[in-house]
Amino acid sequence: SKIKVTKIEDVRAAKRKYIVDRAKELLAQLLSDVMPDSQEISEEVKKAVRVQELVEYGPERLPCGPNVTTADDIIVVEGRADVITLLKHGIKNAIAVEGTNVPKSLVELTKMKTVTVFVDGDHGGELIIKELLHAGAEIDMVTQAPRGREVEELTKKEIHKALRAAIPVEQFTSETVGETIGESNHGHGKDRKTVMKNPLPEIKHTKPPQVKLPEREEKPAEQEFSMEKLQKAMLERVEPSKIKSFRNIMENLVGTRGAFLLDEKLNIISRLPIIELRKTLNERDDVYCVVFDGVITKKLVDMAEEKNIAYLVGMRIVGLDRIPEKTTLLTPAELGEV
């Protein structure tokens, strides 16, 4: 017999080539049939996280974000879907009313927080705000989705725009009352005259006018408060050198949502996010001044006076109905450009 060598082949290389080719086939099949694209993966993960972060508050089991109990500020929305939408965009301090029957636990919660009510842009949203006020909820700010839109369908940009456009609740109620009076006056002039005629004869039977004069003079005095008078009073109290120091400190805080606590020499003794501000002030008695990137509210002013804090320096003032006696309030309007 005769043996002839026609070809020499490395079996190991052939096996490797087969393995590589087979791996390519399997990977292509996996990508086309089994594995979802990156967008689908991202949505699935976000959905799972949102559901996990959604918690419940109070005996009524109100849907809310995980930071509702710890945050200094909360956002009150209409329903569960609104809370989930805000969670989706990183806002974790929202809680839902879940109907027009305002839960008692929510009313009590509003007394401990700075509250912004964020509702749909329709008559139903306005009704929710009125029901909250009627139930005794303490509301600081009010905002609505664009007219005809719902909170749950807003984009992140639209949500933040709406929250930045929030107005003091006093402004909302005055505008609403004005609209109501305007509607009631339309076509009902005779009814108003009839109503006004009845009380007039009773004036003769009241007590002598001198007894009522002090009461009648006190009420207008309480109503004389205005932001212009507040600003004037605050500027009369503060030293010019302090204004410059406060302005320099505030420049480093704009846009940070942070707060600096200062001692009497205006040295920074603590830095913290404003979400922790009220809790921290409650625990400390050595704070002379607070400079923060946030809103000065009535609740914060009350706490500052209780803690003998000399200055509150913030971005704006809302919900105030008096000139504080112990604490001086300053904003960029008093400090100059920040």
In a domain? residue 317: yes
pLDDT for 71 equals 83
pLDDT for 33 equals 66
- Taking the chain (338 residues) in consecutive chunks of 10 residues, what is each chunk's mean pLDDT? 80 86 85 64 62 83 91 90 90 90 92 90 90 90 91 91 82 61 43 40 42 43 68 86 89 82 93 84 93 88 93 86 90 77
pLDDT for 140 equals 84
pLDDT for 51 equals 58
Q: How many domains does the chain have?
A: 2
In a domain? residue 8: no
Q: Which CATH number do you get for residue 94?
A: 3.40.1360.10
Same domain, 51 and 169: yes
In a domain? residue 124: yes
In a domain? residue 159: yes
Tell me how far apart the alpha carbons of residues 277 and 314 are, in angstroms, rounded to a whole number: 12
In a domain? residue 87: yes
Same domain, 169 and 240: no
In a domain? residue 264: yes
**DSSP three-state, residue 48:** helix
In a domain? residue 3: no
Q: Is the pTM of this model over 0.85?
A: no
Tokens read off for 95: 């809680």
The parent domain of residue 305 ranges over: 227-335
Domain's final residue, options 106, 141, 174: 174
Same domain, 83 and 146: yes
pLDDT for 97 equals 94
Residue 176 host element (H or E): helix 169-185
pLDDT for 38 equals 64
Same domain, 170 and 246: no
Taking alpha carbons only, the member of 6, 105, 108 closest to residue 56 is 105
pLDDT for 180 equals 44
Same domain, 50 and 149: yes
Q: Which CATH number do you get for residue 289?
A: 3.40.140.20
Same domain, 73 and 142: yes
Same domain, 242 and 157: no
In a domain? residue 15: no
Question: What separation in angstroms does the CA of 136 have from each of 14, 65, 110, 216, 267?
Answer: 82, 23, 9, 27, 41
Same domain, 247 and 161: no
**DSSP three-state, residue 120:** coil
